[in-house]
Amino acid sequence: WTRVPLIPANSVKTIYVYYGNSAATGQSDASVCPGGIHSGFCTEFFDD
């Protein structure tokens, strides 16, 4: 999960994701996935 506070409309932002740290502990909480888990992925739908 990645929490991104704000990405303004019509902007370009880069989000870096680092992985592969065997010393890191898992922090997953699927209950916060608003659209549910489908095929192993968290889904969220926007209808502006």
Range list of β-strands (E), 1-48: 37-38, 41-42
pLDDT in tens, 6-26: 888 899 888 887 788 888 777
- Report yes or no: 35 and 44 within 8 Å, Cβ to Cβ: yes
pTM value?
0.33
pLDDT over 80 at 28, yes or no: no
- Write b or e for each residue in 5-36: b if 16 or more Cβ atoms lie within 10 A of its Cβ, otherwise e: eeeeeeeeeeeeeeeeeeeeeeeeeeeeeeee
- Supply 45's token pair: 């739908």
